[in-house]
Structure 1
Amino acid sequence: MELPGLPPGLLEALVASAAGRRLALVGGAVRDLLLHQVHNDPWRGLVDLDLVLEGSAPELAERLRLWAGSERLGFCHIHGAYGTAELELDGVLLDLASARRESYPAPGENPVVRLAALADDLARRDFTINAIALELAPAAGGVVALALLDPHGGQADLAARRLRLLHGGSLSDDPTRVLRAARYAARLGFELAPGSLEQLRRTLAAWPWAWRPGDRPELAPPALGTRLRMELELLLEREDWRAAMARLQDWGALPLVEEALQSDRHWRRRLHWAQRFGLPLLPAWLAAAADPLAVAARLQLPHHGQRLLQQFVQLRHWLAEEPGSTPGWPPSRWSEALEERGGSAEAVALALAVGLGPRRPLLRWWLRWRHLPPPVTATELIAGGLAPGPALGQALRARRAQRLDQERR
Structure 2
Amino acid sequence: MPAIPALLEKHLSASRRELLAHVRRIAEAGRLPVYLVGGFVRDLLLGLTPDDFDFVVEGDAPALARAVARELGGEVMAHAPFGTATWFVPGGAAIDFATARTETYPQPAALPVVTPGASIAADLQRRDFTINAMALRVDGAHFGELLDPHGGQSDLAARAVRVLHPGSFVDDPTRLFRAVRYEQRLGFTIASGTLALIPGAWDALAALTGDRVRHEFELIFREPRVVAMLARLAGREILPYVHPALRWGEREAARAAIIPELPVADWRLASPLEPDALYFALMLGAASPVEVTGALARLNTNGVVSRAVIEGIHLRGAWTRPSEAVAILGELSELGVVVAYVLHEGARAALNDYLARWRFVRAETIGDDLIARGLTPGPQFKRLLWELRAARLDGVITDIAGERELIQRWLTETKL
Q: Provide the residue aligned with 1:398 in structure 2.
A: 387
Instruction: Determine what percentage of the aligned residue pairs are the same residue.
Output: 37
What is the aligned partner in structure 2 of residue 258 from structure 1? 243
Partner Cα distance (1:30, 1:261) in 2: 35
Q: Is the 8 A contact 2:180 2:232 kept in 1?
A: yes
Q: Which residue of the partner structure matches residue 66 of structure 2?
A: 62
Partner of 2:190: 192
Which residue matches 1:348?
Answer: 337
1:12 matched to 2:20? The reply is: no
Shift of residue 84, structure 1, vs aligned partner: 0.9
SS of alignment partner, residue 24 of structure 2: helix
Counterpart in the other structure of 1:387: 376
2:325 corresponds to: 334
Distance 1:64 1:405, change over 3 A: closer
- Alpha-carbon distance in structure 2 between the residues aligned to 1:191 and 1:366: 41
8 Å CA contact 1:138–1:145 kept in 2: the answer is: yes
Match of 1:107 in 2: 108
Tell which has more relative contact order, 1 or 2 (C-alpha 8 A, sep 6+).
1
Contact 1:53–1:99, Cα closer than 8 Å, also in 2 = yes
Q: In the alignment, which residue of structure 1 is the partner of 2:131?
A: 129
- 2: distance between equivalents of 1:335 and 1:89? 49
Choose which of 208, 218, 229 in structure 2 pairs with 1:221: 208
2:358 pairs with 1:369: yes
Q: Does 1:292 align with 2:292?
A: yes
Post-superposition shift, 1:277?
Answer: 4.2
Point out where structure 2 has 5 or more consecutive residues left out of the alignment. 264-272, 397-416
Contact preservation (8 Å) 2:28, 2:139: no
Q: Are the structure 2 counterparts of residues 292 and 284 from structure 1 closer, same or farther at C-alpha, using a change threshold of 3 Å?
A: farther
The residue type equivalent to 2:25 in the other structure is A
Deviations 1:307-327 (A, max 9, x none): 3224335x44xx2xx8xxx45
Alignment partner, residue 208 of structure 1: 203
What CA distance in whole angstroms lies between the structure 2 residues aligned with 1:167 and 1:306?
Answer: 37
Q: Is the 8 A contact 2:245 2:295 kept in 1?
A: no
Give the conservation status (yes or no) of the 8 Å contact 2:230–2:248: no
Q: How much does 1:150 deviate? A: 0.9
- Secondary structure of the structure 2 residue equivalent to 1:180: helix
State the distance in 2 between where 1:137 and 1:380 align. Answer: 76
1:336 CA displacement: 2.4
TM-score scaled by length of structure 2: 0.79
Q: Does the 8 A contact of 2:169 with 2:176 survive in 1?
A: yes
TM-superposed CA distance for 1:133, in Å, is: 0.9
Kindly report the root-mean-square deviation, in angstroms, between the aligned alpha carbons of the 2 structures: 2.8
Structure 2 match to 1:40: none
Matching residue's letter, 2:104: S
Q: Report the 3-state secondary structure (helix = DSSP H, G, I; strand = E; otherwise coil) of the residue aligned with 2:77.
A: strand
Equivalent-residue separation in structure 2 for 1:64 and 1:277 (angstroms): 43
276-285 vs 23-32, which moves further = 276-285
Q: How big is each residue's C-alpha offset from its partner over 1:246-274, in whole Å with a ceiling of 9 and x where there is no partner?
A: 33334333234333434433333333334
Match of 1:31 in 2: 42
Match of residue 39 from structure 1: none
| Equivalence for 1:215 | none
Give the distance between the partners of 1:238 and 1:85, measured in 2 at CA. 28
Q: Does 1:307 align with 2:319?
A: no
- Displacement, 1:107? 1.2
Q: Which residue of 1 aligns with 2:155?
A: 157
1:379, CA displacement in angstroms? 2.8
